[in-house]
Chains A and B, each alone.
Chain A
């Protein structure tokens, strides 16, 4: 039977060509890649039977404590869970959303991160542990804020749009955002792709030393990479002196990106973790430089699989926003009327009209998000994921989630076997191995 529509020129492709013919430019949206890629769902855990004993699934102690950046920093980041909240800018998100995320992270003993817009005072106040990003744009960058941070993250690239800078459409660049970023109000702000003061890995090594000197070698320095040429990039970042490397995959989220980059650049999370871990092992920094994975982490199973593949921690973005009520009708909202798409399908973060008050600067809309209520929801979600991860670890007989390893996994598809370097279920074969 042959489909009655073209597989190449599908209705979506036709609509896309029409839209670009009208616009004369690339299309922009938020959320995440729509590409179908190998992901954590293509892996399964091999729990205990007669070869190993399980721990009591619901009760017995299972350690989730996570240390980030112990290599050079006097005060590494110590978290109660390997899950923290990734950098999302004040500007892309509302002050209420940033406050809620910071508060949620504090409630569960983890960290949140500033993003490409500087440090908002309410976010600083709400966050016990705040990671301060150093981005190519340096919007609102302030050495006073640098010294207040619990960790520093140099952003080289972002998984959703590697090789480009951030984007904030004019409708969201209101006076207070423009002031913070030293920009004219209302412009379509497209951030730089390159840092203003360094270019290659040798400069990066000196830049890292500069930030260490400015913070008296007290806090860890992370380097965030968009997952593309993972092996080389990870080695170069580690050799430049990073305490931690964040590898952000092609399915990671964004508040605004050109669609062409969202869907056609980068590599998925599973191979990104494996390649990064192998790279660190090759240069003998495995276990010394912390590896953090981000992109498409949705539940405790994803976290556990990321850890088993070699990550030490994960960062969440979109799932934290969903916990905050992204894509959910709430009292006062009407997605179809306000944004033109039903709740559950919205990806219009860049338009500044987020019906639930997260990705907007409109006062009427931001008032729909109560930061305390939102914080509780996000904290609940992180707690739930931490419990799920621990439950899986116990079922495999592990009393520490960081003891999860590739041997605990099997692949459900040949592609996943190749990318994750674990055997295909029903076989002893790791596909791709010579």
Chain B
């Protein structure tokens, strides 16, 4: 633990908040942000380990383009929380808007309640844990990683996914293109439950596992000139 320094977001511009964060992280301070009032684009592009607690709700693209930080949000967020996370941890207590964890490549994101549409879209690694429900196109074009939804998922879950796994504890409105439900082993189930426990979620649903059917991996046929070269 380092000294805790408070930033009152209501008194600063977005630029000033991010500059102040950089200064405090350089000085190895733990940070709390108060009065964020759903501000967009704060906690962006931080590439060092640090601890930041947000006391309130965030707007769009917050806690994004990060590599290393540990972020706790006591509230809700707008779109794209944790976008392109490389490593680190983001825990948000309430709901997130669309595209949480979009294109994340590593680390862990935990949403305490519900996530909007396109959760984990284009995800390339890491874990996205959702305590409640998730909207349509969850895991759209997902490439790698793990999405765990304790509640229900909307339409077209896992559409066009390449690799990775989506675990759904509740109802599935519909599967996306080339997404298939496969059997989950007891070992996998226990591993998912452990992941929930690690994220402070006290639930043990009987999960369904969704993966790519791999039917979209290749075009069916090649042309003569293409064949000659393959």
Contact = CB atoms under 8 A, between A and B. Distances in A.
Interface of A: 19, 22-25, 27-28, 136-138, 141-144, 146-147, 169-171, 181-184, 187-188, 192, 196-198, 203, 206-207, 209-210, 213-217, 338-341, 348, 350-353
A222 B103 CA distance: 21
A340 B64 contact: no
Contact of B105 (A23, A182, A217, A350): A182
A352 B230 CA distance: 8
A213 B223 contact: no
B45 A213 contact: yes
A144 B47 contact: yes
Contact of A340 (B124, B144, B221, B225): B225
B226 interface: yes
Contacts of A146: 45, 65
B103 A203 contact: no
Nearest to A147: B45
A196, A214, A348: most-surrounded residue (chain B CB, <10 A): A196
Interface string B205-230: 00000000000011111011110111
Contacts of A187: 162, 217-218
B225 A351 contact: yes
Given A182-B143, A351-B229, A22 B162 contact: no
B166 to A, nearest CB: 16
Nearest to A142: B86
Nearest to B225: A340
A203 B79 contact: yes
Contact of A210 (B44, B224, B230): B44
Given A187-B217, A210-B65, A171 B230 contact: yes
A211 B197 CA distance: 35
Contacts of A339: 225, 228-229
Contacts of A28: 223, 226
Interface of B: 14-15, 18-19, 40-42, 44-45, 47, 59-61, 64-67, 79-80, 83-84, 86, 99, 102-103, 105, 118, 121-122, 124-125, 140-141, 143-144, 162-163, 217-221, 223-226, 228-230
Contact of A25 (B41, B60, B99, B220): B220
B221 A213 contact: no
A187 B215 CA distance: 11
A19 B222 CA distance: 10
Chain A: interface secondary structure? Answer: loop
B60 A184 contact: no
Contacts of B105: 141-142, 182
21 contacts: A22-B221, A24-B221, A25-B220, A28-B223, A141-B103, A143-B84, A169-B226, A192-B141, A196-B80, A196-B141, A203-B79, A206-B59, A207-B61, A213-B14, A338-B229, A339-B225, A339-B228, A348-B225, A350-B226, A351-B225, A351-B230
A203 B60 contact: yes
A385 B61 CA distance: 42
A206 B60 contact: yes
Nearest to A352: B229
A143 B223 CA distance: 39
A184 B163 contact: yes
B120 to A, nearest CB: 9
B47 to A, nearest CB: 6
B44 A213 contact: yes
Given A210-B64, A213-B18, A351-B225, A138 B103 contact: yes
Contacts of A27: 223
Contacts of B84: 138, 141, 143
Given A143-B86, A170-B218, A210-B41, A196 B61 contact: no
